[in-house]
Amino acid sequence: MSSVSDGLAPAQQRIAAAYEPHLLEEAGHRLADLLAANLQRAQRSEGPVLPWAEPSDAIRDARALLRGGEAGGPATQTAGGPAAQTAAHFSGLVETMLGRGLNLHDPRYIGHQVPAPVPVAGLFDAVGSVTNQVMAIYEMGPWATAVEQAMVQELGEAIGWEPGTFAGSATHGGSLANLTALLTARNVALGDVWNQGLADGAPYGGTSPTGERSAAVSPPALLAHADAHYSVARAAGILGLGSRQTVHVGLDGLGRMDPGRLEIELCRLESEGRPIVAVVACACATPTGAFDPLDEIAEVCSRHGVWLHVDAAHGGSAVLSDRHRHLVAGLERADSVVWDAHKMLFVPGLCAFVLYRERSRGFDAFRQDAPYLFDPAAPGLAEYDSGVRTVECTKRAAAFGLWGVWALFGRQLFADMVDVTFALGRTFYDKLSAADDFAALHEPQCNIVVFRHLPAALRGAPDERVGEFQLELRRRLIESGEFYIVPSKHRGVGALRVTIINPLTTPAHLDQLMDALRRHGRELLEG
């Protein structure tokens, strides 16, 4: 009598070797040592911030390493054999990963809004990864669900909402969180659009945040900060509104949404009979870190019965700081808020929260029926099924890292992070302002600073040449491995931008950055 295992003994042995607990133990010890050593090197700036390689070369090298586990290599041991050989191979792969990656824990990394995470946060994430604690319905990830909802409660109360009155969930990044919030706003504003769709010329009726019924004709409009993150226009396209229906509200002299101009635009759209999906404000805007006057904007939205969404992916963490909470005054009046933990809450990506001021709105984004997934025999659990609230069905336990760090160090650590990095932004601004060969292009409200290096040889040069110089200078700098900063534009002209998002960066590092830019600038001008 044959069995399912006939002829499969070698396959079963290889599988057993891959699942061997002793291999995890040995590899785990090696991993901890390698990560700690790498962290120490990065914090001491021993080596490049970015070990630059051409993309084609990096892909070639990555593919070459794939072949290590093929044809009887160290990764194909028998179940009963020692794990040391495989663990040694594992160590080599990890060393390659660490040696070829961007070193965010180096204090000279002051580029994108991606932090040097609190290292132990990654270990909590690892628990979820090794055990595959995923979410979709409560019973698939009961503790993952509990952790996520515990963090939702902490963040919502920090915003200023009353316990038990609000809702929210974690998702994979701010762009997806913005999409989810705006999908909710669309469904609220346009009634049965989930089933009806956005057929051209069809009438739409919905319920405003004030409870009033409305009816209008297409095309619906979305109003947004003129420098809103590109994910807002992307969301408009995905939601069927069309990116052309995004109305960019003018800014004041500080780069903030102007409430007066918002009022004018809302009145114009209403006079045209166009439904308004939402107003999207920023806390803070990505280009310069400007915080919109949320209280004033909320007042305008309230008068017009319009949904207010605040993209607080970066700046939401200011609510945790006594020094900086004033920057987000009025955030509690928003109908929806996006807050990234993998920005100023200093945990690994991807972890972002979409939060709703009214608890019932947490289930307004999606409409679906999946009897193979959602259990009609347990309707009381539906409230805890993440799959009914997020784009994802299966979703990683994104909140583990944040929950773990919060439980270990408390809320104060995150306030400290905000205070230190925002102060460094001001310090850098002061240094730029004091130098005759640099120009700070705005007064920072947080840890984002946009500037230019302007050596004497460039004074009086056309804007185009000035902008090109900044971009060429930045490219030289990052390929040298000395620092990592990002390109930007200010009033249409190329510029440089830093986000001082590593709390271990010091004023001395900022001096070194300016010196490095001067040196590379001289070399560039001299040809």
Backbone angles phi, psi at 381, to 5 degrees: -85, -10
Question: Are 247 and 236 a contacting pair, CB within 8 Å?
Answer: no
- 10 Å CB burial of residue 328 (0-12, 13-18, 19+) is buried
Each domain of the chain, given as residue ranges in start order, spans 11-97, 166-393, 413-526
SS3 of the chain: helix, strand, coil, percent, to 5: 50, 15, 35
Q: What is the pLDDT at residue 482?
A: 97
Residue 215: pLDDT over 80: no
Residue 417: pLDDT over 90: yes
Handedness of CA 116, 120, 125, 130 (dihedral sign): positive
Phi-psi region of 439 (alpha: psi -120 to 50; beta: other; left: phi over 0): beta
Number of Cβ atoms within 10 Å of the Cβ of 105 = 20
Residue 408: pLDDT over 60: yes
- Over residues 145-204, the pLDDT tens digits come to 999 999 999 999 999 999 999 999 999 988 989 999 999 999 899 887 877 777 654 555
Question: Are 282 and 290 a contacting pair, CB within 8 Å?
Answer: yes
Section 412-430 average pLDDT: 98
Lowest mean pLDDT segment, chosen from 162-171, 256-265, 281-290, 380-389: 380-389
Number of Cβ atoms within 10 Å of the Cβ of 176 = 19
Section 235-247 average pLDDT: 88
DSSP-H helix ranges across 367-451: 400-409, 411-434
SS3 279: strand
Please give the mean pLDDT across all residues of the chain: 90
Q: What is the pLDDT at residue 137?
A: 81
Q: What is the pLDDT at residue 412?
A: 97
Give me 126's structure tokens: 């690892």
Q: What is the pLDDT at residue 366?
A: 74
CATH 2.60.130.10 fits 166-393, yes or no: no
SS3 128: helix
131 or 83, which is more confident: 131
Q: What is the pLDDT at residue 484?
A: 97
- Over residues 451-492, the pLDDT tens digits come to 999 999 998 999 999 999 999 999 999 999 999 999 999 999
Return d(Cα 315, Cα 434) in angstroms, integer.
27
Number of Cβ atoms within 10 Å of the Cβ of 175 = 21
Q: What is the third-level CATH fold of 413-526?
A: Aspartate Aminotransferase, domain 1 (3.90.1150)
Number of Cβ atoms within 10 Å of the Cβ of 423 = 16
Section 269-297 average pLDDT: 95
- Over residues 482-520, the pLDDT tens digits come to 999 999 999 999 999 999 999 999 999 999 999 999 999
Residue 319: pLDDT over 80: yes
Residue 79: pLDDT over 50: no
364 or 292, which is more confident: 292
Section 12-23 average pLDDT: 90
CATH topology match: 166-393 vs 413-526: no
- The 3-state secondary structure of 337-368 reads EEEECCCCCCCCCCCEEEEECCHHHHHCCCCC
The H helix count followed by the E strand count for the chain is 15, 15
Residue 1: pLDDT over 70: no
SS3 393: coil
How distant, in Å, are the alpha carbons of 199, 362, 364 from that of 189? 15, 15, 11
